[in-house]
Structures are given as structure tokens and as C-alpha cells.
Amino acid sequence: SSHADSTVHWCTPGVMIRCLTLASLCVWAAGEDTGKTELVKLVAELQQQARIQQERIAAYEALVQQRVQASAESRKLSDAVYVYHKPSIYEGEEQELGIERNYLPEEQLEYLMGHVWALLCGALVVFMQAGLAMIEAGNGRVKYVPHTLLKNTTIVTASCLGWWLFGWSFAHTGPYDSFGFKENKFAGREQFAGHTFVSFRKDGQIEPSDAMGRWFYSWAICGLATVIASTGVAERMNFAGAMIFSFLFSSFIHPIVVAWTWGKGFLANMNRTGYVDFAGSGIVFMAGGWAALVGCVISGTRQGRFDGMVGRQRILDWPRSFQPHSMPLVVLGTFILWFGWYGLACGSTLAMHDIEKGMLAAQVAMNTTIAAAGAGMLAFLLRFASCGKYDIGMFCNGILSGLVSIAAGCSTVESGSALAIGVIGGLMYTATSILLKYRTVDDPVDAFATYGVPGMWGVVAALLFEWGEGFSKVHGRNGFRCIAQPLGCLGEVDALGLDLAAANFSLIGVVILWVTVLSAIIFGVLKVSSCLMIPDESTGAPVDEAAPGERPQDGYKYEGVYGNSSI
């Protein structure tokens, strides 16, 4: 082999041409009287050797090409067998029906790291529920703290059951076509209630799948969207309403949004790029924020919230009985959400088995942090400039608006762009919060301003600040790698940016339409059924600032309908 390589190297056509040129020069210099016959003979011999070497090179190249083709065919056959044979955890066991195989070493590492990553990041996302509960409780009136905690706990548990029964199936199952996209482009119809998560072997043992880890991580995200959707009706939804809404939202409304996007539905395959929403600016937060706005409008204003207040007063002040009762809870909840956000954003890599995934997760974490800091600072300074007060609540919601804004593009923008995205998100949050209060929309935690509008902006920003070279080269969901063809990244003539724009604006339109219409139907039914009225307001009596239960210490007593703990 080494001898053949050496022959090819020294006897290439270029070398032989140089030799013939040198010999010709020798003939010309020698002249007719200095051995012309011998030199001509030498040139002829060199020409003959050149022809022989060219034939050998051609034969060698044909042999190499033949071996490459044979190797490719063998690899295709091996891949076909690899796909056909189902992997099994039972090493050394008799392969059932001849179609099982052991997990390969590289598969074991990939599955192990994937499951550890999903469980760790999923746990962080679940912990975000505590942050949402603290923020809603702290922003509300003290006497409704038990109600708020009961509502949020109900929503988390009901959303888990809804996701298990129906949501996972609609969102993340097939059947899929040969390209890995949903056949019907709309929703899946397999694995309801965890069916086929495990299978039973003929020998009586159980064969697991990788679906459980993915189910846990995706449920945590669905639960997050469901709680956000419920914050618009803070202090106005009773236990039955919370249970019904959260079950329906997590069973059908949000899973269909996921099916169209992360679940490989029509938005993922509508053109050459598909949408880009890496960590859920639109899929999670915009969907939850718009549902919260619908609930807020349908449930109506809390009694006495804007009574006797003109426009500027509504923007800058709260009635004494409606002021957030605990800033420590709001700040604690904000930092819990920020901490858990790294599970959502970095966990969206969906794997951690190679250096590229690790670096991508680090890129996501850096961009997420920068955007949050910029948005929070801007919102705080704008509030101070408008009213001369240090508004900690505005600071906290500004941080959250930055986190929401960067979620879609955190894997495909540079750090300077992340700061710009966060700052613009903080500005949009501030403007929306002012507008809602001016229009007497009673949103106690600014859910729509914090999640809905920044979520929309995040989907647009992922398009505008995408780090592909120019507007025609796109990275999309590929992170560091651009969307490429065999000859490299697609170039100027392909106008991939237009495809990405079409997909992302389509995502915004269809998600808002789907979520608002179905949420309006559910909240409308709950309103008619008196599920958007808590017991204390059922009589219609005005809220008395000095009434029992308004004192801070009374808000944490569980009396009457909230029974004392037996612990």
C-alpha cells in the first residue's frame, strides 16, 4: 500500500510533464551535432513511461472509487440492519425473534447523558412553579394568599394528568413520515396515557424506552405555560375553575401548539427553514401570555381596583388595598424563575453527549443572562424616570421580560444582539403594562405585558438578529451550523431569510389565534358557571381595607374553606 502511494506521488502527470520539458530543452541545447539521436530516443522512452504511469494511475483511481462505493453500500446495509433491529437493555440474552440487538457503546453514552440532562433540566423547570407561585402571591392581596397557593398547586397537578392522558400524544408522537415530520401535519395519535412507554417481552421481562425522560421534561414546560395562562385571573378563579381550565389547556390547547412546532408539525416543515423558537418565546410564553389576557378580560376587573382613578393615577399608583403585599416574595419568585430558566433554555439542546452541545448550552446561558440583566435595568430606570420611585416589582418583571424575549433566539444570536433583544423586550413590557392599566385591564401580575408581548417580540427577534451571514444565510434550529446543502451553506440567491420570516410570522399568527379562541371559549363557560368568582366576592360586597383577613399575618392563616393543616 505504501509503495503504491509512493508511486502515485512521484509519477503524477505533472512530474512527468516537467521531465519531458527538461528533456526537450536538452535536445534543443545539444543541437544536431551532439547526440541528437540518443536524446530523441530518450524522449521517446520517457513518453512511453509516462503513458504507462498514466494508465496505472487511472487503474488505481478506478480501484479506489470501486472500494468507496462498496464501502458506502456496506454502510447502507449496516445502517438498515441497525435501524431494523430494536435495541435491548438485556445484554447477552437470546435476541427475541431475531430482531433485537444490544445497545452500542456510543448509544449507551448518548442515552445516559440524554436522560441525565433531561431529568436535571426538567427538575429545574418544575422548580420554576415555586417562583410563579411566589410572584403571584406577593403581587396579590394578603387575604388571597391561601387561594393563590391552592390555585397554583391545583394547576400543576391537573396539568400533569392532562399531559399524561392526552397532551404528550398530541404533541410528541406520530405517525411520522420518512423525513421525521408528522404525517397529518397537525397532531399525533399514539401513546395516550403512557401506552407503549414500556413493552413486555416474551420472557416476561419489561423493555423500557427513552420516552419517559422526554415526557418528564416536556410536561414541566407544559405546566409552566399552563400556570402562566392562569395568572391573568389571579384572585378571580376558584378551585373548580382552576382544575377545569388547567386540565383542558394542558390536554389540548398547548399540546397542539407544541405539535405544530417542537413536535415536527406543519410549522417545522412549511418551507426550507421552518420556524425557529429554541426555548419557547412563542410556543410557551406568548401562548400562556395571550391566554392570560383573554382570562383577564373575560373575568373582569376586581371590585374597587380602578374606582375613582383617572388615567395617570391608574398608571402610577395602586389603591392601598390592592398594593402588592410582599415584595420579598416577588423578588424571591423572580430569582427562582431566573434560576430555573437555565433548565428551560439550556435544556432545549435536548442532549449533552458531545462538545458541540456543551458549547451551545454555554452560549444559551450567556445570552439568557445578558438579556435578562439589560431588560430589568431598562424597565427599572424607565419607571424611575416617569415617577421618581424605585419600583422593585417593575424591576423584577423587566428581568422576566428579558428572559422571555431571548428564549427564541438564544442559540443563534451573539451576545451583543442578546443585550439588544433584552433591552427592547424590557421597553415593550413597560409600554404594554402602562397601556393595560390606562385601559383599566386588571392584570395583577402583568402576565400579558411580561410574557405575551415579549414572547411575540422574541420570535421576531430570533429572525432579525439571527447570526447567519447576511439575511439569506440561516442557522435556524441548527445552532452553530448553518442550514446547508452538500456544497456548503446556501448563499445569497436562496433568500432563506424570507423562508424563516414566513415561518416565524406564521407561528405568531396561528398560535395567537388558536390560543385566544379556545381560551375564550373555556373562560366564557367558566364565567357563566360562576367559576371565575371566589367565595369572598360572591356576595358582591365592597372590599373593606380594614376587614378581617386584610392584615399580613391573617393572610397566612388557613381558616374556613381552607382547613388547618393536620401536620
Instruction: Clarify whether residues 61 and 192 are in a common domain.
Output: no
Query: Can you say how many angstroms the Cα of residue 469 is from the centroid of all Cα atoms in its chain?
Result: 23
Q: How far is CA 558 from the centre of its chain?
A: 39
In terms of domains, do 71 and 152 share one? no
Q: Looking at the DSSP assignment, which residues form a beta bridge with residue 199?
A: 207
Question: Considering 31, 53, 77, which residue would you say is the last residue of a domain?
Answer: 77
Is 377 exposed, middle or buried, given 0-12, 13-18 or 19+ CB atoms closer than 10 A? Answer: middle
**β-sheet bridge partners, residue 102:** 88
Cis omega (within 30 of 0) on the bond before 175?
Answer: yes
Same domain for 396 and 324: yes
Q: What is the 3-state composition of the chain as percent helix, strand, coil, each rounded to the nearest 5?
A: 70, 5, 30
Q: Block means of pLDDT (10 residues each) for the chain, length 567 residues? A: 42 54 57 62 76 75 69 50 66 56 84 93 97 94 89 95 97 92 94 90 84 95 96 90 96 97 94 93 97 95 80 71 88 97 96 92 97 97 88 95 97 95 97 91 93 97 87 82 65 74 96 97 94 58 38 53 45
Q: What is the number of structural domains in the chain? A: 2
**Cβ pair 250, 186 in contact under 8 A:** no
Alpha carbon distance 230, 246 (integer Å): 8
C-beta contacts of 191-200 below 8 A and 24+ residues apart:
192/165, 192/166, 193/164, 193/165, 194/164, 194/168
Count of CA atoms in the C-beta half-sphere (13 A) of 103 = 15
Residues whose CB is less than 8 angstroms from the CB of residue 60 and which lie 6 or more positions away in sequence, other chains included: 4, 8
Report if residue 549 sits inside a domain: no
HEC secondary structure over 135-167: HHHHHCCHHHHHHHHHHHHHHHHHHHHHHHHHH
227 and 301 share one domain: yes
Q: Domain for residue 300, yes or no?
A: yes
Q: Is residue 8 part of a domain?
A: no
Is residue 491 domain-resident?
yes
How far is residue 419's CA from residue 409's CA, in Å, rounded to a whole number?
Answer: 12
Per the structure, the complete domain to which residue 510 belongs is given by 109-529
Q: Residue 203: its pLDDT value, please? A: 76
- Is residue 132 one of the residues assigned to a domain? yes
Picking from 61, 77, 93, the residue at the C-terminal end of a domain is 77
For residue 527, the surrounding DSSP H or E stretch is helix 496-528
Question: Is there a single domain that holds both residue 72 and residue 118?
Answer: no
Residue 195 shares a structural domain with residue 47: no
Kindly state whether residues 213 and 318 are assigned to the same domain.
yes
Residues 371 and 472 in one domain: yes
Write the single-letter amino acid at 398: G
pLDDT of residue 201: 81
Q: What is the pLDDT of residue 546?
A: 36
| Residue type for position 329 | L
CA distance 547 to 292: 29
User: What element of type H or E holds 326?
Assistant: none
Closest CA to 348 of 253, 179, 218: 218
Q: Under a CB-based contact definition with an 8 Å cutoff, are residues 372 and 415 in contact? A: no
Chain centroid to CA 333: 22
Q: What is the predicted pLDDT for the residue at 340?
A: 97
Q: What is the DSSP string of 404-440?
A: HHHHTTTTSS-HHHHHHHHHHHHHHHHHHHHHHHHTT
Q: Is residue 298 part of a domain?
A: yes
Contact indicator for 196, 208 with CB cutoff of 8 Å: no
CATH number at residue 188: 1.10.3430.10
Cα angle vertex 114, ends 278, 348, to 5°? 10
Co-location of 120 and 188 in the same domain? yes
Q: Give dist(CA 401, CA 378) in Å, integer.
A: 11
Examine the domain organization and report whether 292 and 412 are in the same domain: yes
- The answer to whether residue 563 is domain-embedded is no
In-domain check, residue 94: no
Task: Choose among 533, 543, 137, 148: nearest CA to 321.
Answer: 543
Q: What are the DSSP calls for 223-260, one per residue? A: HHHHHHHHGGGTTS--HHHHHHHHHHIIIIIHHHHHHH
Three-state SS at 322: helix
What is the enclosing helix (H) or strand (E) of 321?
none
| Closest to 429 (Cα-Cα) out of 395, 480, 387, 460 | 395
- Ramachandran class of 351: left when φ > 0, alpha when ψ lies in -120 to 50, beta otherwise: beta
Give the residues across from 100 on adjacent strands: 86
pTM: 0.80
Do residues 34 and 152 both lie within one domain?
no
Q: Is 540 helix (H, G, I), strand (E, B) or coil?
A: coil
Question: Is the domain of 330 the same as that of 190?
Answer: yes
Domain boundary among the residues 57, 77, 97 is at: 77
As a whole number of angstroms, the distance between CA 409 and CA 416 comes to: 13
